[in-house]
Amino acid sequence: MQKGKWGRRLGILGLVVYGIFILFPIYWTVNTSFKHVGDVYKVPPAFIPPDFTLEAYQFVLQGTGRIALGNSLIVGILATVLAVVLGTMASYAYSRYPNTPLTNETAQFNLLTLRMFPPIAFLLPIFWFWKTFGLLDTYFSLVITYAAFNLPLAVWLLKGFLDALPRSIEEASYVDGYSFWQTARRIVLPLIGPGLAATVALTWIFIWNEFIIAYLLGGRNVLLYTAYLPSLRRGMRIMWNQIAALSILAIIPSIIILIFFRKHLIKVYLR
C-alpha cells in the first residue's frame, strides 16, 4: 500500500513537471508581449512585466502585422472551403464506389502518398509552375496550392465518417423519391455534420500554421503571418515584444478550436 502511494506521488510530480515544461515558453511569450523592448533582456529576468504596456500589440495591429494576419485569414478560409468541398466529393466516391479505376485502392493510396512526400520536394516545380503562369504571389496560387496539399488530410478524415454511415439510410432516401443531390443535402451531409466540422477545424489549423509555402509562394503581394514573423527578427534591434505579441494573436484561433473540438480530436486519433 505504501509503495502505491509513492508511485502515485511520483506520477503526479511527473505530470506537474511536464506541465511546467509545456507552459513555460507560452507563459514567457505572453509575458514578453506586455513588456517594453528594453525590459526583454534584463538579468534577473522579469517574471512579470515591470512596466505593463500594450505598445507591442498596438504596433502589430496597426501595421504590416494586421495585413499579414488578414491575408492568412483570407487564404486560410478559402483554401479550407475548397479542400473540404473537394475532399467531401472525393471521400464520398472513395467510400461508396471503390471499384472504378479512379477510386480504387491504388488511387486512394496515391492520394495519401502526397502526404508522405516532403513538401519542399514539391515546391521547386510548383514554384516554377506558378511563375510560368505569372501567378506567383497571388491569392489564387496560394489558395489552390494549400487546398491541394490538404486534400489528402480532408479525404482521410472524412472517409472514416462516411464509412461509418450505413448505406441503407441513403437507399431509403432514394426509395422516398429524393434525387442524388437532395439526398446529399438533406441526409448525408447533416449526418456527418460533426465529422465535417472537425475536418474543417483541423484543415484550417494545418493551413493557418503552414510556413514554407507561405514563404516561397507568397511574401510580397500576399504576405502571410508565418512568413512575416521571421522578418521581424532582422535589423539591429530585435523587437521581441512585437514578435511575442504577433505570436500570441496567431495562436488564439487554434486555442479556441482546440477547446471546442477536444473530444473530436481524441476521437479522430482513436480510429
Partner 1 sequence: MLFPKRMPKRPLYLIIPPQLLVLAIVIFPLLWAIYISFHSWNPTISPERRFVGIANYIAVLKDERFLASLGRMLYYSGVGVTIQLVLGTLIALALVEYIRSERLRTFALVVFLLPMMMAEAVVAQMWTLLVTDTGTINNILVWLGFSPIGWRTQKLALTTLMIVDIWQWTSLPLLIAYAARISVPERLLESARLDGASKFLILRKIILPYMRVPLAIAFLLRFMDSYKFLDKVFIMTYGGPGTATELPTFYLYQTAFSYFNVGYAASMSWIFGIMAVVAMLIFWRLTKRA
Distance of closest approach, residue 245 Cβ to partner 1, in angstroms? 11
Largest CA distance in the chain: 75
- Residue found by looking up cell 509552375 in the block: 129
Contact 189, 85 (CB under 8 A): no
Pick 87 or 195: Cβ nearer partner 1 = 87
Q: Which of residues 191-220 bind partner 1 (CB under 8 A)?
A: 205, 208-212, 215-216
Q: Does the protein bind partner 1 through residue 188 (CB under 8 A)?
A: no
Q: Does the protein bind partner 1 through residue 133 (CB under 8 A)?
A: no
Instruction: Give the CA dihedral 165, 167, 170, 175, nearest 10 degrees.
Output: -150
Q: Mapping DSSP to helix (H, G, I), strand (E, B) and coil, where does residue 174 land?
A: helix
Q: Which of residues 52-111 bind partner 1 (CB under 8 A)?
A: 86-87, 89-90, 92-94, 96-97, 100, 102-103, 111
Using alpha carbons, list the distances in angstroms from residue 51 to 21, 33, 58: 26, 12, 16
Which range, of 62-70, 139-147, 158-166, 190-198, touches partner 1 by CB under 8 A? Answer: 139-147
Q: Considering only residues 63, 115, 166, 182, which one is a binding residue for partner 1 as defined by CB under 8 A?
A: 115
- Residue found by looking up cell 496515391 in the block: 110
- Residue found by looking up cell 492520394 in the block: 111
Distance of closest approach, residue 41 Cβ to partner 1, in angstroms? 5
Distance of closest approach, residue 230 Cβ to partner 1, in angstroms? 5
Q: Which of these, 49, 95, 69, 86, lies nearest to 240 by C-alpha position? A: 49
Q: Does the protein bind partner 1 through residue 140 (CB under 8 A)?
A: no
Distance of closest approach, residue 137 Cβ to partner 1, in angstroms? 14
Distance of closest approach, residue 62 Cβ to partner 1, in angstroms? 20
Q: Which of residues 242-261 bind partner 1 (CB under 8 A)?
A: 243-244, 247, 250-251, 254-255, 257-259
Report the distance separating Cα 41 and Cα 235, nearest Å: 17
